Structure 1
Amino acid sequence: MTTDSAKPCYRLPQVEQLLQHQALVVYIEQLSRPLVTQLIRQTLQAIRESQAFKQSGTHGIDVIAAIEKNCQHRLKQRQRSVINATGIAIHTNLGRSPIHPDIWQDVSPLNTGYCNLELTLNDGKRGQRNGLLPDLIQSWVGAEDALIVNNNAAAVYLTLIGLAQGKEVIVSRGEQVQIGGGFRIPDILKMSGCTLVEVGTTNITTAQDYLDAITENTAAILMVHQSNFSIQGFTEAPDIHQLVKNLPYHVSLLVDQGSGLSDESYSSDEHSIRYYLNAGADLVCFSGDKILGGPQAGIVAGNTHLIKTLAKHPMMRAFRPGRIVLSLLESLLIKKLNKQHSGKGVAERLIDAIPETQFWAEQLAQQWQPFARLEQLEAQVGGGSLPSERYLSYGLALQLPGKAQSHLDRLRDLPTPIIGYLNKDRLMVNLSTILEQDKAIFVQQLDHYIRSFQA
């Protein structure tokens, strides 16, 4: 005979009661009370619908543990610092180019108080929000004028819709590319109200190919950066000087340079912004957050008249960045022009430090033997920049008990996640992309992790 005391208990704790539990305080601080409340309700509902609860009630069910699991899962979706041990300096999944700490500190007071974003201090009247940037960009790459938008995709789109809507735009077959997120050049031309005129072949397009395709309805020739792939072997690119020399007055030469390469010396194949401007390109579009190493931004540099036309376009208000982006770019370019270390992009800084990285890798391999082995690896710029370039770098192959994939997953669960990669079922950490400010916590965390196996 079953007594009342043996009956299953179906009473779950109240939401408000659970919100007071000490174990959930940290999640309220990091996720917010409303979001934790929502997760508690979802967890309770899942428990009520489970077969275990229907059969045995709360017996054997740890409600707090179930809520914590859901909170931990959601917490991993929050943006947080990670350590880049992939060997890819500008990693799209990891936030692309990190801002140098000196630059961030430089603009912090400006962005935590009021600033003269659209106020001219000389006369107290409303002014333009670009500050010193056009002058700095002129000193940097020789452009007559410049315009800042929120990314390079916006720069290309604004240029097309502002200068070529309803007209023909000539693009080489080999440059009708798609970059991350489905940004396809033919689609962008269509959305801009332009008619795509295709010339050349996948691997060869000459200056004459462009010139032969020009009509009275042609507004521009668009040259496009190939971003994350390259064509090698039997190829030929147009002589840009010959092209500019023979262009009719009504046709503009627009260049999506993409990467933002300027005076950096670690690429022999990539044409710089200044190269295109000196060759006679009317406008050059490029990223502020790739090789330059600034915040995510798009920069259009070149002819003053065309820049002013774009600045007055109605879409400019949709694409303009805020003061955080503008102030970071301003500080970065001042430091770059003054040849300070903090004015270098992350790729340039890391490539410069490769000899030091080798010494550091040798030390760590010795410290963590037999679980770590020194490896000669390759580093890449990444982020849709310099796809053909590879640089000698150094790192470690971690040989720990169990499967490499499980260790890769566990490194992502560390307080400051370490993002490595697998190569032939080996766990690799490329030390060349670990920032100076991350080195101490990287060593501390990995040392603790490895010592758990030594014990």
Structure 2
Amino acid sequence: MQKSEIKTYKDIPQVEKILAWGELTEYVQKYSRPLVTIVVRKAVEDLRTRIKDGKTSDRAKLLKSITRELDKIRFELTNKVINATGIVVHTNLGRAPLGEKTFERLKDKISGYSSLEFDVLKGERGSRGSYLFELLSAMTGAEAGIAVNNNAAAVMLILNTFGLNKKCVVSRGEQVQIGGGFRMPEVATRSGVNLIEVGTTNRTVIDDYRDAVDDETSILFKVHLSNFRLVGFTEETSLKELVALGKEKGLTVVHDLGSGAFVDTSEFGLGREPTIQDSLMAGADLVCFSGDKLLGGPQAGMILGKKEKVAAVKKNPLYRTVRLDKMVIAILEELILSYMKSDYENIPAIALLSADNDELRKRAEKIRTALKDLKNEIEVVETEAFCGGGSLPEESFPSVGIKVIDSKVTDLAKRLRMNNPPLIGRIKDDQLILDIRTIFPHEDKIVIEALQRALE
């Protein structure tokens, strides 16, 4: 028997000896000895099963099985990826992309200590996120504002504050399901409210709400249908109508805006998504929305509205369980300052949505020219891009992409995903499309190199 051949249990090297193999040194340095040990033990257990089934192995095969699993770790960890799907706010790719300038300015803020809960001017304990909340009000015109770690938390906190053991009236047609299988009715019920559905799936009028209000009612709740559309024979009660009813009956009117657009999306050739300002001007007591969708920031849930209502939410003991950490606060501060300075280039989601097609076409032509010597046919094509993130679900808008013609397009897409960083495109009509709109200009060179390696 050759020294490396493994036929019996006794031939299997000890885990400690395998960990000492020189081929695994780099993995230990990169991923830690405990993590590599887990992978090695799993490979040894698999090998024992193989031997039990009458199969054999050797050192080279065992090593390959270990390194194959270790190489997967790079892709299982959170990675930077190049988004060539044409979906700007891509739920699976981190939703709204964050700006590089933002992180350059944040280096000093988020490393070491920070003034998270310290008032530097007064030299005493401060309030976490206090200036962020002032910025939110200044940007939107709201009387007051706070932020928590996501919009579902914002909804739950609001409903718990004003509707605990009371009734909350909502249209049956607005009982939406959000990402990850979570349903808003379930989130609302967990907040402690008694959710009262009114109207029908396709039609809800103001009298439906009025008829449901009684002495136990505390909230009129409106949910923006950001991730789907009702079309055909439909009718929806406006926020202004709900506000009028709320004032008449002394009820808190809450608008879950969902995607949270601050700028008018019709300026990008899209349908008009309701804005934060629209909801506030309509008179809603509280408006909540996501920070990482059309707003273009990190995951967060914003709560804006009447001063006394926001103050009540902040006093809720549950607020501490969903409050923001120092990194998200710092990023949001930079984001809002960018909005207030109209520095949309530092808000990538807005910059990508508003990118000029002529410029995209020039970049696509440069990429095609750089790849002209490859055997595969590569074309510059007109494409359709999307907002994504549950915003404007039926809306697409013109974009420009590169079409790569390959007989094994699925294999090509996989090779590009194995690139460092992974390059994620989309397959349409058995051809690979790389949409330039969601590729940042500084990534064009990486795209060229990735395609050269994948197609050589």
Among 310, 315, 318, the residue aligned to 2:318: 315
Q: Is the 8 A contact 1:90 1:347 kept in 2?
A: no
Which deviates more, 290-299 or 368-377? 368-377
- Matched residues in 2 for 1:92 and 1:173: separation? 26
Distance, in Å, in 2 between the alignment partners of 1:271 and 1:4 is: 71
Root mean square deviation, CA, Å: 2.4
Code of the residue aligned with 1:421 in structure 2: it is: R
What is the TM-score normalised by the length of structure 1? 0.92
Residue 182 of structure 2 corresponds to 183
Contact 2:242–2:253 (CA<8 Å) still a contact in 1?
A: no
Q: Post-superposition shift, 1:314?
A: 1.1
Secondary structure at the counterpart of residue 416 of structure 1 = coil
Whole-angstrom CA distance in 2 between matches of 1:317 and 1:191:
17
1:415 and 1:113 map into 2 onto residues whose CA distance is 30
How many angstroms apart in 1 are the aligned matches of 2:179 and 2:193? Answer: 22
Distance change >3 Å, CA 29–CA 228, structure 1 → 2: farther
Superposed, 1:64-213 pairs within 5 Å as: 64-213=63-212
Change (3 A) 1:5 1:445: closer
What secondary structure sits across from 1:178 in the alignment? coil
What secondary structure, in the 3-state scheme, does the structure 2 residue paired with 1:50 have?
A: helix
Instruction: Write out per-residue CA displacement over residues 91-128 of structure 1, whole angstroms, 9 at most, x where no aligned residue.
Output: 11111112101111111211111111111122222221
Aligned in 2, Cα 1:59/1:201: closer, same or farther, shift over 3 Å? closer
| AA aligned opposite 1:431 | I
How far did residue 22 of structure 1 move? Answer: 3.2
State the match for 1:24 in structure 2. Answer: 24
Give the deviation of 1:246 after TM superposition. Answer: 3.4
CA contact (8 A) 1:208 1:243 kept: no
Structure 1 gaps of 5+ residues are none
Conserved 8 A contact 1:119-1:126: yes
Structure 1 distance, partners of 2:330, 2:204, is: 40
Partner of 2:281: 278
Report the CA distance shift for 1:207/1:362 in structure 2 as closer, same or farther (over 3 A). farther
Residue deviations 1:138-157 (CA, integer Å, cap 9, x gap): 22111111111001110111
Q: Which among 377, 388, 391 is matched to residue 382 of structure 1?
A: 388
Letter in 2 for 1:385: S
Contact 2:144-2:307 within 8 A present in 1 as well: yes
CA shift at 1:240, angstroms? 2.7
Partner deviation per Cα, 1:412-454 (whole Å, 9 max, x = no partner): 111211111211222221121112332221222113323x1xx
Q: Does the CA-based 8 Å contact 1:281-1:302 persist in structure 2?
A: yes
CA contact (8 A) 1:289 1:295 kept: yes
Local SS of the residue matching 1:339: coil
* SS of residue matched to 1:166: coil
* Whole-Å separation in 2 of the counterparts to 1:189 and 1:7: 59
- Distance in 2, Cα, partners of 1:215 & 1:5: 81
Q: Indicate if the aligned counterparts of 1:143 and 1:303 stay in contact, CA closer than 8 A.
A: yes
Letter in 2 for 1:223: K
Number of positions where the alignment pairs a residue of Structure 1 with one of Structure 2: 448
The C-alpha deviation readout for 1:257-282, integer Å capped at 9, x for no partner, is 01111123334432111111011000
Tell me the amino acid that sits aligned with residue 433 of structure 1: T
Q: How do 1:301-312 residues align onto structure 2 when only pairs under 5 Å count?
A: 301-312=304-315
Shift of 1:232: 2.4
Q: Which moved more, 1:69-78 or 1:203-212?
A: 203-212
Instruction: Rate the CA distance shift 1:323–1:60 in 2: closer, same or farther, 3 A.
Output: closer
The 1:4–1:98 alpha-carbon spacing in structure 2 relative to 1, beyond 3 Å, is: closer
Change (3 A) 1:15 1:262: same
> Matched residues in 2 for 1:163 and 1:214: separation?
15
Distance 1:72 1:214, change over 3 A: same
> The residue matched to 2:72 in structure 1 has which SS?
helix
TM-aligned CA deviation for residue 249 of structure 1:
4.7
Q: Work out whether residues 83 and 93 of structure 2, in 8 Å CA contact, stay in contact via their aligned partners in 1.
A: yes
Structure 2 residue aligned with 1:325: 328
* Large movers: runs of 4+ above 4 Å: 2-10, 53-61
Does structure 1 residue 11 correspond to structure 2 residue 11?
yes
Distance 1:68 1:275, change over 3 A: same
Give ranges in structure 2 of 5+ residues lacking alignment. Answer: none
Closer, same or farther in 2 for the Cα pair 1:85/1:123, shift >3 Å? same
Within 2, Cα distance between the matches of 1:289 and 1:56? 52
% identical aligned pairs: 35
Q: Do the aligned partners of residues 131 and 438 (structure 1) sit closer, same or farther apart at CA in structure 2, a change above 3 Å counting?
A: farther
Q: Greater CA deviation, 364-373 or 141-150?
A: 364-373
Quote the residue 2:399 is aligned against.
393
Matched, 1:410 2:415: yes
Aligned AA (1:107): L
